Structure 1
Amino acid sequence: MALLAQQVISLAGTTPTYSAAAASTTVTCGERSFLHVKNTNGSSMTVTITATAKVRGQGVADIVVTVPATTGDKLIGPLTADLFASAADGVSASITYSSTTSVTVANIVI
């Protein structure tokens, strides 16, 4: 899994850089961390963020977001550590995409 670099929004303005989506990626969790997904494919697709939190011993459901076809654009988050941090490192969230064709992503921190 590739770690998406964080891009911090600044007062001077930030032009995010988007990467082609891979089958699975990770992002660093944080109260101000968001995933921006753009889909120009002719079909809608889904983004799944693996939830790792537990409430009274029961796992919290993964977050699944549908990104519409052609001009689909979703900003997802915040990706907080209490819900999404992996047990392996305690800081990264695991993200999978149902399709990667014509899908780009950016990890944005506000």
Structure 2
Amino acid sequence: MYYSIVTWLAPMAEAMGLSKVYAGIAVTVFTFVQMVSSFLIPIALNGYNRRHFWLIGCSLIMLMGLILLIFSHGINLWVSTVLLGIGLGGLLPFSMMLRLDENFNAS
């Protein structure tokens, strides 16, 4: 999902009437928010250790971002970019942690 968003965010922003510069800034904002949230959400997970809550929450945030991106015009593009960054930034650490949880031995 990450590579799909990174690949199609700039062309979608240009199709909405933004210049190439602002389309590039949208991808940069998405990447920055995704990086920050991929560090902050696992820290918050230590405080509230119900993983299903965080998985569902990040998935819903990402879904809201996708819906806004599909139907966005103008300012909604920036809101959807931030929501997508938060959602995908939270799901990235979970994709790594869940594999470790299912592994029962060290090898």
Question: TM-score under structure 1 normalisation?
Answer: 0.28
Larger Rg: 2
Greater helix content: 2
Q: TM-score when scaled to structure 2? A: 0.28
